[in-house]
Amino acid sequence: MDSIREGAAGGDVVVGGAPIGVYDSGVGGLSVLPAIRELLPADDLIYIADAGHLPYGEKSPFYVVERAWRISDYFLSRGVKAIAIPCNTATAAAAAVLRDKHTDLPIIGIEPAVKPAARLTRSGVIGVLATTGTLLSAKFQQLVRREAPGKQVLLKACPGWVDLVEQGASPEDARRIVFEPIDDLLAQGADVLVLGCTHFPFLVDLVRERVGPDFPVLETGLPFALELRRQLLAREPGAAAAAGMSSALSSAVSPGLSLAAASSVRAAVTPLRQASGAAGRIEMWTSGDPTVVQSRVDRLMPGLAPVRRLPEPYC
């Protein structure tokens, strides 16, 4: 049964009912699940790690769109009420296409935090770390022109970071992979870093080791979850006021939101596992090898959910 509940503080809203489809090229999108679960604890989530086609960032936009069609078809077969795409590359390539195809379904994408970075920078130099696919996309270039006019935006493709999250590495290799692009951006005067891939919050400890605890490092998991909730509430009868409140909250999220909170993304797994008050279930599916993906999930968020193989037509 669908439900809406507004708490005493006016912000404790729970929406239930049909599940929400969430997908990423791999396990990186798991970094946004704590925020989604915090804001929508009653909702069932169906998460697809499209690991059979990883990494999206090195694929053509046409390839990424084709995968979006397959995955959205699976979600529709499960009766989802929204599709959330916590993947910058997939958002840039496919979100608009999916919205055109599924006009009656909320499609929530994600984009790098260029706008808050432009407000935070004092040197006028912003460093963006992302995948090649994101940085080369027309959508990202438009974002930079729109939100950071007059700023120098340095772009650094980091495909090795995705591999590091997915596969792991020795401490020495991990430091080298993470430190090299950061050092290059800092040497060019960047005083704000934007993590433009949802895999990257899982590397926050290494990022902080290099830049220190007070350096602005931005990611967009919370604003993404707020927008998902806003769109769901807007479709619920009688929920207009709550949706407006959610929109106001999203606009009010501090531009200085750093990874201090995201650094505990692993610790946030407990509320994800149907802990106190969280009635929603989490399903994990993959187009890749479930055993391999399970090992990655267990390394990042131990005990989250068993990983199953998608039915063949969707792989």
Binding site listing: 24-25, 56-57, 88-89, 198-199
Binding residues for substrate: 24-25, 56-57, 88-89, 198-199
CB 257 within 8 A of CB 222: yes
Cα(101)–Cα(6) distance, integer angstroms:
33
| Residue that the structure tokens 């802990």 belong to | 275
List, edge to edge, every strand of the sheet that includes 217-218: 152-157, 125-130, 192-195, 217-218
Distance CA 33, CA 8 (A): 25
The identity of residue 23, as a single letter, is: Y
DSSP letters spanning 162-207: HHHHHH---HHHHHHHHHHHHHHHHHTT--EEEE-STTGGGGHHHH
Q: How far apart are CA 39 and CA 12, in angstroms?
A: 8
CA distance 174 to 75: 35
Integer Cα distance of 248 and 91 in angstroms: 23
Q: To which H or E segment does residue 23 belong? A: strand 20-24
Radius of gyration of the chain (CA): 19
DSSP 91: I
| C-alpha to C-alpha distances, 133 to 25, 62, 99, 167, 203, nearest whole angstrom | 12, 11, 20, 20, 20
* Catalytic residue IDs: 87, 197
The one-letter code for the residue type at 232 is: L
Structure tokens at 141: 């270039």
CA-based angle 211:217:223, to the nearest 5?
A: 165
